[in-house]
Structure 1
């Protein structure tokens, strides 16, 4: 079984990699559709020939690496079970303690550590590529610090969730998935409340926006939209990246309007205001809460299908893989495998919903600011600084993009009807 797994995994992965290479480097057209040529959405009108070449190269390599890494996590979970590592992890936990509240976090830590180590080369390759093309400005030590912070935050959250989950599996054999889902709802709200003030500051330094005139204009926009904010935050991202971003996140008293300093440094004031109007649009149209509702619904179906598939997998292959009960912590790799596969299968639907929400936010922002030139200019500058591919291959768009393509966004802004252009 082990030999077959290694042989077939290598053969299929090599074939998959070759097909990906052909798709990204031979079969996809990097040109601009005729309908967009010469418009503001045509990168030739706002990017130099060198920038355009680098953008196409960088996007191809990043997309190739991203898709190459997609099945690796699945292969790791399968390998952990087939080679008996899950049984070793479980037995090691039992040697440390006879209490499941200790055994389960130990198992989670061992599995997460192994997965992180095996995926590290690909993560580093993506980071190296970003540095090589001038997107990332982050030192290796700073990058590793962020990786370690992410590792331990992920472990703490996952250890808590999995410990509760496997206690429910043991106590409520047929209803654990439903109880787990009910408990997840307040947890998701709590994490949404906690994220801006506890987790985000672990990675970056947040300060009040230094440009008080700009802050006043942003807060005026927020006030017009009934966004309950009394200050704007600036985050120091220039030491890590040349990309630009802004966002509104959090709920209740922890709601935050945040601008990356790269956005402030590279965009003109009216362009910054358009970007902020876009983020305010998300808040006004309750996209934060709709997104949370979507996660809650997706969690319900994810746990429901995982419950049935995990029971089937345990009956069919569990004994050979080292577990005969779903509540045995050795089944965790199978649980993760099923959940990640389901997530991948349903991701096109999730991304399509996200792209629609982003379009709505773009339209809200252009109606609010009534400044098409600033709107178009901001997206063009975002494209140049991030070496974004304005017209990615279909596979990338539908399996990776939570936003419309830059070509679609700029074209929409250029042709948008129904606004009176703001007079200077």
Structure 2
């Protein structure tokens, strides 16, 4: 065990150095020379101080992202090889003979210890955002959100554990297929449920207060044959200076949501372009395409997890302190494999998402025809969030669900020339 812990820590340290070298030394800043001085060059719409802060903040944030992901895997690995996962199962077994209660107790302790050990990393991220004036939240408000996160995730995951291990015990060879079948209605239910139950736990949502602007947005919706009655506003200024708008939910609970920071920092024309972009997602059924893609990836993922868990338990079960997949002690291995496969599939899912975002951009510019407002909205999004206009390649591949701001501004400029 000491040997594996030493190897793991050394490998993690080397990985961290490689990430640091790539982000802080190897990757350059600024835009390619051909685009210097264009509307895509941050030097044309950011001050010198904003340029420096943008580069610093984005680089540090990307570094934290890449080193945090394997840290979570490392914690799960340590829980298994130290026997702590087995001790937690013994505690839960001694507390109750009812499997549902055993599962709830086991996962509570697992969630609690992971949250405690991950807290310093989360705190660093919060302080970083605070230092660069992205976050406006107080520490107490941030902690409140962390506690809500903990309990929401705990309740949802406890339900998943109960169903998952019932399936493994009942259908040992085909549990992954039945789990996938059940994930379809569960995912759809969550998407329907989230906008009206989960999201309001964090923020207040209400119909857009600017009725003149809402009328113009609804006129756009009518042109797109979208049956919208309200545009929702959310009070994100209590938490951040960043800007955003999004589509969430399905069916009668689908919503177009504007952050109040977006309303205060963008002009009316820029907001209408943003709204047309969100309507583009609706018109092109991107939400349902996303659901279909997620379900396809989850089917492949569950199949691979089944095969990999069997392999690891057969070869290293004694070392990992796991006797069988049917034991709760195997759940950290399930989470570890799920995390690795999700990270490995992110380049594919991000590529699809970036294609959808570009399609929505082009839909919005065709609907509004206001290239200047569109470009200025992207420039202001970059300034408000201190985001890099042209991030390093690996950052784009693994983190970006949207085209880079360089790409978005350039293809809008190209579209403008064709008119």
CA RMSD of aligned residues (A): 1.1
Secondary structure at the counterpart of residue 137 of structure 2? coil
Q: Is the 8 A contact 1:229 1:255 kept in 2?
A: no
List aligned pairs for 1:112-261, cutoff 5 A. Answer: 112-261=111-260
Q: Distance in 2 between matches of 1:394 and 1:194?
A: 36
What residue is the counterpart of 1:292 in the other structure? 291
Unaligned runs of 5+ in 2: none
What residue is the counterpart of 2:306 in the other structure? 307
Q: Is the 8 A contact 1:370 1:419 kept in 2?
A: no
Deviations 1:22-48 (A, max 9, x none): 211111110210121111100011111
Q: How far 1:224 moved relative to its partner?
A: 1.3
Q: Is the 8 A contact 1:352 1:398 kept in 2?
A: yes
Q: Is the 8 A contact 2:92 2:106 kept in 1?
A: yes
Q: Distance in 1 between matches of 2:199 and 2:417?
A: 38
Q: Distance in 2 between matches of 1:27 and 1:322?
A: 41
What residue is the counterpart of 1:324 in the other structure? 323
Secondary structure at the counterpart of residue 236 of structure 2? coil
Quick check: 1:72 aligned with 2:76? no
TM-score (norm 2): 0.98
List aligned pairs for 1:372-391, cutoff 5 A. Answer: 372-391=371-390
Deviations 1:338-374 (A, max 9, x none): 1111111111111111111111111011011000000
Secondary structure at the counterpart of residue 234 of structure 1? strand
User: Runs of at least 4 residues of structure 1 off by over 4 A?
Assistant: 417-420
Deviates more, 1:19-28 or 1:390-399: 19-28
What residue is the counterpart of 2:29 in the other structure? 30
Q: Is the 8 A contact 1:397 1:405 kept in 2?
A: yes
What residue is the counterpart of 2:344 in the other structure? 345
Q: How far 1:107 moved relative to its partner?
A: 1.3
Q: Distance in 1 between matches of 2:312 and 2:169?
A: 17
Deviations 1:275-303 (A, max 9, x none): 01111111111000011111111110010
What residue is the counterpart of 1:405 in the other structure? 404
Q: Is the 8 A contact 2:176 2:303 kept in 1?
A: yes
What residue is the counterpart of 1:18 in the other structure? 17
Q: How far 1:222 moved relative to its partner?
A: 1.1
Q: Is the 8 A contact 1:314 1:323 kept in 2?
A: yes
Q: Distance in 1 between matches of 2:158 and 2:77?
A: 20
Q: How far 1:419 moved relative to its partner?
A: 7.0
Q: Is the 8 A contact 1:367 1:419 kept in 2?
A: no
Q: Distance in 2 between matches of 1:43 and 1:391?
A: 9
Q: Distance in 2 between matches of 1:209 and 1:418?
A: 35
Deviations 1:102-148 (A, max 9, x none): 11121111111111111111111111110100111011111111111
Q: Is the 8 A contact 2:371 2:416 kept in 1?
A: no
Q: Distance in 2 between matches of 1:24 and 1:296?
A: 33
Q: Distance in 2 between matches of 1:129 and 1:314?
A: 40
TM-score (norm 1): 0.97
Q: How far 1:16 moved relative to its partner?
A: 1.6
Q: Distance in 1 between matches of 2:31 and 2:299?
A: 41
Q: Is the 8 A contact 2:130 2:136 kept in 1?
A: yes
What residue is the counterpart of 1:262 in the other structure? 261
Deviates more, 1:8-17 or 1:70-79: 8-17
Deviations 1:211-253 (A, max 9, x none): 0000001111111112221011110010100000111211111
Deviations 1:39-74 (A, max 9, x none): 110001111111111100111111111111110111
